Chains A and B, each alone.
Chain A
């Protein structure tokens, strides 16, 4: 399967613990995105990378959140000192940035986080 993969698929943690999620994009894609989705709502943009550079961060991304894409391939999203409000589905997507307008983002299956 050459789609976007995310690991783990589910994570249950206690409040105050740190968690790290991994995303492996489609291999030739140079852009990678992180979104967060809560029940009954659409995905909300968190941050995105072009190659290894983090180009934009949403104000939703507090200082407890950090994302990296060290070699321009896979990415990690870490949440420190988790809070119950962090419970959500964390979605990763990748795309190929081209010269023209209109790039399709391909989404992974998501990591569902539950903070107790």
Chain B
């Protein structure tokens, strides 16, 4: 079974709105990463947050991490149609490999 679980499984919003995706995981981690995947393509790294960090920003992206609740959230502000993709969280427990959830499929309607 996967370490991380994203919620919701699917999200549909209008362009300009904010999109929030959540990730929960089961074991202690060194870091958590968010990736984007356009249909049929490889994964694009978005942001990495370490276990001793609580929040990080990158452009329109904001990631939070709550290690006490074993959860993370990804906020995309002012969404665009080009943000339509699947978003995955991946946890690194220290062995280097990443364990992925099954993703949130985001649809941004123009």
Interface size class of B (residues with CB under 8 A): 20 to 34
**Docked-complex contact A44 and B100, CB < 8 angstroms:** yes
Closest to B94 in A: A101
**Docked-complex contact B50 and A102, CB < 8 angstroms:** yes
What residues on B are CB-neighbors of A44 within 8 Å? 2, 100
Interface size on A, residues (CB 8 A): 30
The number of inter-chain residue pairs (CB within 8 angstroms) is 69
Interface segment out of the listed B35-43, B57-65, B67-75, B76-84: B35-43
Given contacts A42-B103, A43-B43, A91-B43, whether A105 and B98 have CB atoms under 8 Å apart is yes
Interface residues of A in 35-63 (CB under 8 A from B): 35, 40-45, 48, 50, 55-56
Selected contact of A42 from candidates B50, B88, B94, B96, CB within 8 Å? B88
Q: Which residues of B contact A (CB under 8 A)?
A: 2, 4, 30-31, 33, 35, 40-45, 48, 50-51, 88, 90, 92, 94-103
